[in-house]
Amino acid sequence: MKKTFYILFLFGAIIISCKKKDKASDVSGISITDPLKNGSTLDLIKDSIFLYSKEAYYWYDGLPSYDTFNPRSFTGSSDIAGLNKELDAISQYKINPATGLPFEYSASSPGHSKYSFIDEGQVSTQLNGTNSNFGFAPFYNDVNDLRIKYVYPGSPADLAGVKRGYKILTINGNSSLSYDNGGANTQFVVKAYTSTGSIVMKLQKPDQSTVDVTLNAASYTTNPVLTYKTINTGNGKIVGYLVFNSFTSDANADPKLDAAFNYFQTQGITELVVDLRYNGGGFTSTAEYLSNLIVPATKSGSTMYSYYFNDILVNNKETLLANQVRRDPKTNGLYNYGQFDYTVAGNTVKFAKKGSLNLSRVFFIVAGGTASASELTINNLRPHLDVQLIGGTTYGKPVGFFDIDINKYQMYIAEFETKNSLGQGGYYTGMTPGSATYPGIKDFDDVTKDFGDTTEVLLHHAISYVKKGVFSAPAARIQGLSGQLKTFSVDQSNEAGVIINGNQFNGMIFNGNLKKK
């Protein structure tokens, strides 16, 4: 199942047209030998999913034999549902000794993969800067309090005047929207905003007035920087505040990040708050770009992080993956995955400072939706400056992938793990603010306030720390409009945020430059 927080690693980023082959004998770009060569195209796709996993999956050594697994036995309500069901099964074999559960265990959806999934190219389109949806996402502020958590600029929701913090009273005439831990109400909400072409909502504004909006899904260019501003705390400190919502491609994201950081430089900021609370990840190269904007200049040339692939790839024993062909976006030449060096030494990224900010500390606002490339950025910087986390426990995705083309589908399975310059990684259960490992403070996401509002709970914590050297007292458990005590705990609120994300992408995609062997 797609999760919004993947770390995306795309080799060469441009997928050539030969991936769309339909001949059963050439499914996935390889010729499957006896006894697997016979069968329908769908049968051979199922075979290919398993065989590629046995070679490229980071935890391939936990998988059974072909005959034991029987990939052709998996079916679903549609072909792609059946293929994802097969991938779910693959993801549950390897057990994390630290937890006694599968590495890909998903607390919000047990039995489904936390990281791996198959689609028909939608993620590639989305991460290259084009969305085709309503442009908003909901969030449960409490059991009976569903809100708008963000709106993308230029999207249908934005053009209709929808704002963060608006309370959703009805969706398509349905007022039964109370949170039910992934039950019928929650699934209704998820389907309404992710799987339909139009939606009608009655919304309540902060002044208690209501408005009816009808939205039709449409394509728009994603601006991953939702807002940025500076805050003068009055004690000689100037705080830069940035909401970064997706690690889209460098072509899309880097100019927006440059505009924000150039502004911060001209304003002479002394502190930085990066809001990643809903950022499910994206391209690793964009994570590197953001890391280089934040890191002190003295760290240029030092190790940022390293990739760790499985031993089949490290020892260049891949036979199927070697036939996956890509076109290099820089040279326009063709290459395949079998040409590359998968060793740690060949896949270690160094800092290259960008801009002139010279910070000694950075605050990250995080939550259950903070995943993959977001977590990578945080982990990259931990050894090099004071990193403080504010909010809820992050998603927990220290692994990433590159796409594998199988007929008309793209398969994303965990193919590598990342670790920073101190060898720190392995945050499969997430990063918890205020823990021994991750300094900061744990508290509720305050969706009743707009981004950048200095009274918003999580931003207020950062401002308090800048002014006084301590975080403010944890927020009173009060709902914004009703004044009633919250039903949720911080952890329950965090988990509700993960569930309501539905099948939105979470991940880290490799799109760096692998060295040739």
CB 215, CB 155: distance < 8 Å: no
Query: Which residues lie below 8 Å from residue 330, measured CB to CB, with a gap of 6+?
Result: none
What pLDDT digit, counting tens, does each position of 377-423 carry?
A: 999 999 999 999 999 999 999 999 988 889 999 999 999 999 999 99
Query: Which residues lie below 8 Å from residue 231, measured CB to CB, with a gap of 6+?
Result: 238, 239, 241, 452, 454, 463
What pLDDT digit, counting tens, does each position of 112-169 carry?
A: 999 999 988 877 777 776 788 999 999 999 999 999 999 999 999 999 999 999 999 9
Q: Are strands 409-412 and 403-406 parallel, antiparallel or unpaired?
A: antiparallel
pTM confidence score: 0.90
The domain segmentation of the chain, as residue ranges, is 133-221
What pLDDT digit, counting tens, does each position of 209-260 carry?
A: 999 999 999 999 999 999 999 999 998 999 999 999 999 999 999 999 999 9
pLDDT at 488 over 90: no
487 secondary structure, DSSP code: S
> Which H or E run includes 126?
helix 122-127
> Which H or E run includes 177?
none
Question: Domain 133-221 maps to which CATH number in 3.40.605.10, 3.40.50.1820, 2.30.42.10, 3.40.309.10?
Answer: 2.30.42.10
pLDDT at res. 489: 82
CB 44, CB 36: distance < 8 Å: yes
Cβ count within 10 A of residue 329: 12
